[in-house]
Amino acid sequence: MSTPVVEVNNVTMRFNLAEEKTDTVKEYFVKLVKGQLHFNEFLALKNVSFTVNRGESVALIGKNGSGKSTMLKIIAGVMYPSEGQIKINGSIAPLIELGAGFDMDLTARENIYLNGAVMGMDRQFMNQHFDEIIEFAELQDFVDVPIKNYSSGMVSRLGFAIATVVRADILVVDEVLAVGDFKFQEKCKQKMQELLAGGTTLLFVSHSGSQVKELCSRAIWLEHGVVMADGDATEVYEQYEKKMEQNG
């Protein structure tokens, strides 16, 4: 039996939310030092456990605030759980906040090499894939323009193109297909399907039922940080949809 590429064991994530309103950072720290700040504990995830096998395509579904994005960020190593363990067996390409690692004063060309270095890719690899990245992002006329002058869609296209040029074992995607125009969304879906066909594992968050059913074979439904269902993507999404309709 093969080793799962993702193992989530009894993961709990809690956040402390300050009850008092503070108008400045200074006021916050003064109250904190004096012990005048009181906190409400918010549990984003509660003892969540699941495993994902190599080559699986798994959607995390649920309404806003259910813990989906928090779970993806923990898996991607952006956040650390309050309790429990995550085991990752393979490399990860996180498509969570496209363009978050860009230097806005640098050009597309400069950011491609900068991001490549951050991902552990050498200059030769990025040279080989430079034209592919620019062509996919449709930025041929803007290669040497500082990306602070780009639209949000252009930044997202560049971020997706860079992140997917490296064939990672696990692709972690959070609402990426909600950005850009329809044509670009279709290109993104086609690219993700190519990666899946090549054996990449997909963890996917989306509010689109059609995208979940098209890209994923399995879905995990989270509600208030708790797993409500885990199984066939179409069946689980229909359960979730029915519950949402009942709740209005």
Residue 52 has a pLDDT of: 96
- Residues 147 and 172 both lie in one domain: no
Residue 129 has a pLDDT of: 94
Residue 118 to residues 94, 121, 221, Cα–Cα distance (Å)? 13, 7, 33
- Residues 43 and 125 both lie in one domain: no
- Residues 122 and 82 both lie in one domain: no
- Residues 109 and 119 both lie in one domain: yes
- Residues 246 and 146 both lie in one domain: no
Residue 178 has a pLDDT of: 62
User: Do residues 20 and 36 touch, judged by C-beta distance below 8 A?
Assistant: yes
* Torsion, Cα of 60, 66, 72, 74 (10° steps): -140
Give domain status of residue 194, yes or no: yes
Of 116, 132, 167, at which residue does a domain stop? 167
Give the tokens for residue 210: 């059609």
Q: How many domains does the chain have?
A: 2
Q: Rounded to 5, what percent of the chain is helix, strand, coil?
A: 40, 25, 35
How confident is the chain (248 residues) per 10-residue block, as mean pLDDT? 86 74 58 57 90 94 92 90 94 75 91 85 92 93 94 85 84 74 81 88 89 92 96 95 86
Residue 47 has a pLDDT of: 95
- Residues 134 and 223 both lie in one domain: no
- Residues 198 and 82 both lie in one domain: yes
Beta strands 57-61 and 201-205 are: parallel
Give the tokens for residue 52: 């994902």
- Residues 5 and 84 both lie in one domain: yes
Give domain status of residue 107, yes or no: yes
- Residues 84 and 193 both lie in one domain: yes
Q: What is the CATH number of the domain that holds 58?
A: 3.40.50.300
Give domain status of residue 96, yes or no: no
- Residues 197 and 138 both lie in one domain: no
CA 88 to chain centre: 15
- Residues 151 and 203 both lie in one domain: no
Domain of 150 in residue numbering reads as: 101-167
- Residues 56 and 161 both lie in one domain: no
Residue 51 has a pLDDT of: 96
Residue 173 has a pLDDT of: 86
CA neighbor of 51 nearest in space, from 94, 9, 1, 93: 9
CA atoms of 137 and 159, how far apart (whole Å): 8
